[in-house]
Chains A and B, each alone.
Chain A
Amino acid sequence: MGEMRLALRRFARRRMALAGTLFLALLILGALAAPLVSPYDPLRQDLARMLTGPSPAHLLGTDDLGRDVLTRLLYGARLSLGAACLAVAIATVAGVPIGLVAGYLGGRIDDALMRVIDALQAFPALILAMAIAAALGPGLFNVMVAVGVVYTPRFARLVRGQVLALREEPFVESARAAGATHARVLARHVLPNVVAPIVVQVSIGVAFALLAETALSFLGVGIKPPEPSWGTDVGRGYRFMRLAPWLVFMPGTAILLTALAFNLVGDGIRDAFDPRQSREG
């Protein structure tokens, strides 16, 4: 536990990571409180007032159907962020066990599993995600699954690498000698040591998943209308960019800042637990 406190202190010392955490905290708060805080309903149309710029009534302007941009931004956070988190959750749930098994058991199983992982990684991320998302059809859940599948290899490799290193450690050998089953060794001794890198990867993964989901929605393969999502809103706003540039700028900046924040936080956590690796970036 002392290690945790030490890590926390190291984390707090990095300004960028702190800034990122603050931003995310505010964002998540805003997203959760969206129904209470938003000035309008995100689906409420005001056709007479479409494509108007920032004004006292609409702080960030209105979109092409007269809906309030600020409200859609807040609600969009729920959807986009939620999708990203769940996608990473899927990747974690799928990738970690694969990595554990491959790294621990080694040999043929490792070989076979890694070959499949290699094949998955050979596909450019967006192309694979697009194909899977299209195959499954539009909708939030399908996008999450697609992005999750694409990101699974990252976790699998990470965990495998950690496990390979840990496998030879004396405490593992002694645990085996004491009669513990494979499962027990994995759960009790290996896994806890892998947690930190997994957490780092989760943070970075959410950034990746967010960018992927928004790109898919932008291209029209993602979340279906009229649900507010940062990606679809940028896509729709693009067609009216000449008349209303804020429609692209607002959600796009939100995506950028959020992805940046998650990356910075992830880097911060990594540095907090292992300052020697700080230069990797």
Chain B
Amino acid sequence: MSQPTRAVLAAACLAIAAVLLSISAADAQAPKAGGTLRAALRAEVSTFDPHRGASGSDHMYLYPVFDTLVRFDEKLNARPGLAESWETPDPKTLVLKLRRGVKFHDGTPFNAEAVRFNLARAQDKQISSMSSELVSVQDVEVVNEYTVRLRLKAPDASLILAFTDRAGMMVSPTAVQKLGDQFGRTPVGAGEYRMARWQAGSEVRLERFADYYEPGRPYLDAIVFKIIPDADTRVSALRSGQVDFIMEVPAQDFAGLKGERNLRALEGPTLAYWRVFLNTAKAPLERKPVREAMNLALDRQTLLKTIIFGLGEVVASPFPAGYWANNPALKPWPYDPARAKAKLAEAGLPNGFSMDMVLEPTPEHVRRAEAIQAQWGAVGIKVDLKPMDLAKGVQSFFRGKELAAANYRWTGRPDPDQSVRAMFHSTGFYNPGGLKVPRVEELMDQARATYKLEDRRRLYQQVAEVVQQEAMDIGIYVASSLEAMSVTVQGYQQNFLGKPVFRGVWLQGK
């Protein structure tokens, strides 16, 4: 054919291609309904009963099944959930206005009566594992079908965010009464998905709840959680297409996954940070210069680069950057072994001292602890590593108070008050030596008593300053939450808790 004809033909082809591309691109934005998401999780759910369960690994399973009174966004700010709004007419009263038209999976309507049932159950010491979170609630009154009034013993701002977690998960009262102990295996909530099948040790299948109050949601037909404890197996399962989503990707595999064309690898900050818990009742840890020395002797940047291949951030405050309670002005401890030695001499220990440290026995934990051990060894602090399984470690260190230090990760809590109280209050469970700094406790109490976010933020920033001044914390780094998924998975967002939430997820091209 002639030249001009060819040119026109080519242009026409290009035009058609462009149109097609733009159509498919537009298509790519709109969520599609249908499909089953297969996600590989590290641990199996211990029980589907949100009040009885105590394991931090349960949440991924619970979120789809149980809607909470308050929802959290990716930065862990409070958002309306089953409670549309809330207000505090006076500091000791919290009024929740509930959403209408919500049903539990068994058809029971969700209302104030259900909320009262749930809160009573959550406060019941015989059943509940987290009754301590609701300790300030004196009584729960049903004002009308969709309004609940909580009378508090003392002002408690931590309640709102506590309601984004187990304390706020709503179970169907009729189901609980009917199923009793079996409820943990056949749960009934008001979430987007209902439980279809639980094959112990292998997988859990959740199916779409057709009567969910938000029309058109959820997008997926079903979610299947496959239990794959071994990290390498999770990675190869994703690679081979056996699953669509994996969590807790090992740091050394992350770069490899990022490079694969049909996979997407996400790295995001979390509240969880690695630290050394101290039992300040064990000499010489009660002396501030000793704790300062321990902080100065750690080369956090190198630890970050070598232990988790740089996939994280060095911490300066108990809350990471980007979190509302973070103190952006605070700088991490400098790496200064000479000054560390000087501090030890100042404390009367020029030749250093010995201490033991508990850790989990898995290779990742051992590796990190050995690196810390070597850095402290360089300034004369001789660490005797004591690997023991988590339960025994918790028992020996936090309850038995037998050992000097523990190298664990602080997994984070929905509300900052829960974190700082547990770690830095003299009565905190995670402060076994009972280190008491009155100023910090004052600030904490103030922050809990006010409901204004700005005030709370300011107070927590001050808490972080005092914590650093008094060297109460030996924080190391935040290990980024590493997750990977097939490119067909759309609409997924990481969150600061590091626990995957699949709300709003849809699958493309399935």
A residues 40-59 near B (Cβ < 8 Å) are 43-45, 47-48, 50
A residues 44-76 near B (Cβ < 8 Å) are 44-45, 47-48, 50, 64-66
CA distance A157 to B156 in the complex (A): 71
Which residues of the partner chain A approach B362 to less than 8 Å between Cβ atoms?
220
- What's the tally of chain A residues with a CB closer than 8 Å to chain B? 20
Which residues of the partner chain B approach A240 to less than 8 Å between Cβ atoms?
252
Which residues of the partner chain A approach B232 to less than 8 Å between Cβ atoms?
239
- Nearest CB on B from A186, distance (A): 45
B residues 292-325 near A (Cβ < 8 Å) are 299, 302-303, 305-306
Does B363 contact A65, Cβ atoms closer than 8 Å?
A: no
Does B370 contact A45, Cβ atoms closer than 8 Å?
A: yes
Does A65 contact B387, Cβ atoms closer than 8 Å?
A: no
- What's the tally of chain B residues with a CB closer than 8 Å to chain A? 25
With A224-B387, A225-B387, A240-B252 already in contact, the answer to whether A45 and B363 are too (CB < 8 A) is no
Q: Mark A239-264, 1 if CB is under 8 A from B, else 0.
A: 11011000000000000000000000
- Nearest CB on B from A238, distance (A): 8
CA distance A243 to B254 in the complex (A): 13
- Nearest CB on A from B305, distance (A): 8
Does B250 contact A225, Cβ atoms closer than 8 Å?
A: no
CA distance A66 to B364 in the complex (A): 15
Which residues of the partner chain A approach B369 to less than 8 Å between Cβ atoms?
225
CA distance A225 to B383 in the complex (A): 12
B283 at the interface (CB under 8 A from A): no
CA distance A220 to B386 in the complex (A): 13
Which residues of the partner chain B approach A239 to less than 8 Å between Cβ atoms?
232, 250, 252, 363-364
CA distance A157 to B362 in the complex (A): 38
Does A43 contact B374, Cβ atoms closer than 8 Å?
A: yes
B residues 333-392 near A (Cβ < 8 Å) are 361-364, 366-367, 369-371, 373-374, 385-388
With A45-B371, A243-B252 already in contact, the answer to whether A220 and B363 are too (CB < 8 A) is yes
Does A47 contact B306, Cβ atoms closer than 8 Å?
A: yes
Which residues of the partner chain B approach A64 to less than 8 Å between Cβ atoms?
367
Does B250 contact A138, Cβ atoms closer than 8 Å?
A: no
Does A48 contact B252, Cβ atoms closer than 8 Å?
A: no
Which residues of the partner chain B approach A48 to less than 8 Å between Cβ atoms?
302, 306
Does A47 contact B252, Cβ atoms closer than 8 Å?
A: no
A14 at the interface (CB under 8 A from B): no
Does A224 contact B374, Cβ atoms closer than 8 Å?
A: no
Does A65 contact B385, Cβ atoms closer than 8 Å?
A: no
Which residues of the partner chain A approach B252 to less than 8 Å between Cβ atoms?
239-240, 242-243
Which residues of the partner chain A approach B364 to less than 8 Å between Cβ atoms?
239
Which residues of the partner chain B approach A43 to less than 8 Å between Cβ atoms?
374
Does B371 contact A47, Cβ atoms closer than 8 Å?
A: yes
Does B385 contact A226, Cβ atoms closer than 8 Å?
A: yes
A residues 198-221 near B (Cβ < 8 Å) are 220
Least CB separation from A63: chain B residue: B367
A154 at the interface (CB under 8 A from B): no
Does A65 contact B370, Cβ atoms closer than 8 Å?
A: yes
Least CB separation from A47: chain B residue: B306
With A47-B371, A226-B370 already in contact, the answer to whether A236 and B363 are too (CB < 8 A) is yes
With A64-B367, A65-B367, A239-B363 already in contact, the answer to whether A45 and B385 are too (CB < 8 A) is no
CA distance A88 to B256 in the complex (A): 45
- Nearest CB on A from B260, distance (A): 14
Which residues of the partner chain B approach A45 to less than 8 Å between Cβ atoms?
370-371, 374
- Nearest CB on A from B310, distance (A): 12
Choice from A44, A65, A224, A235 contacting B371 with Cβ under 8 Å: A65
Least CB separation from B365: chain A residue: A225
Does A220 contact B361, Cβ atoms closer than 8 Å?
A: yes
CA distance A243 to B374 in the complex (A): 23
Least CB separation from A134: chain B residue: B389
- Nearest CB on A from B139, distance (A): 49
With A47-B371, A240-B252 already in contact, the answer to whether A225 and B366 are too (CB < 8 A) is yes
Which residues of the partner chain B approach A235 to less than 8 Å between Cβ atoms?
363
Which residues of the partner chain A approach B388 to less than 8 Å between Cβ atoms?
138
CA distance A229 to B385 in the complex (A): 16
A residues 1-53 near B (Cβ < 8 Å) are 43-45, 47-48, 50
CA distance A224 to B363 in the complex (A): 11
Choice from B250, B306, B373 contacting A226 with Cβ under 8 Å: B373
CA distance A38 to B157 in the complex (A): 60
CA distance A118 to B468 in the complex (A): 62
CA distance A64 to B364 in the complex (A): 11
Least CB separation from B384: chain A residue: A224
CA distance A239 to B362 in the complex (A): 11
Which residues of the partner chain A approach B374 to less than 8 Å between Cβ atoms?
43-45, 65
Which residues of the partner chain A approach B370 to less than 8 Å between Cβ atoms?
45, 65, 225-226
- Nearest CB on A from B297, distance (A): 14
CA distance A236 to B367 in the complex (A): 9
Which residues of the partner chain A approach B386 to less than 8 Å between Cβ atoms?
224
CA distance A220 to B303 in the complex (A): 23
Least CB separation from A49: chain B residue: B306
- Nearest CB on A from B275, distance (A): 19
With A45-B370, A65-B374, A236-B367 already in contact, the answer to whether A224 and B306 are too (CB < 8 A) is no
Least CB separation from B362: chain A residue: A220
Q: Could you list 15 A-B pairs, sorted by A, with CB under 8 Å?
A: A45-B371, A45-B374, A47-B299, A47-B305, A50-B306, A66-B306, A138-B361, A220-B363, A225-B366, A225-B370, A225-B387, A226-B366, A235-B363, A236-B367, A242-B253
Given contacts A43-B374, A226-B366, A240-B252, 11 further A-B contacts (CB under 8 A): A50-B306, A64-B367, A65-B370, A65-B371, A220-B361, A220-B362, A224-B385, A225-B385, A226-B370, A226-B385, A236-B363
Q: Closest 3 CB pairs between A and B?
A: A47-B306, A45-B374, A226-B370
Taking Cβ atoms with an 8 Å cutoff, the residues of B that contact A are 232, 250, 252-253, 256, 299, 302-303, 305-306, 361-364, 366-367, 369-371, 373-374, 385-388
Taking Cβ atoms with an 8 Å cutoff, the residues of A that contact B are 43-45, 47-48, 50, 64-66, 138, 220, 224-226, 235-236, 239-240, 242-243
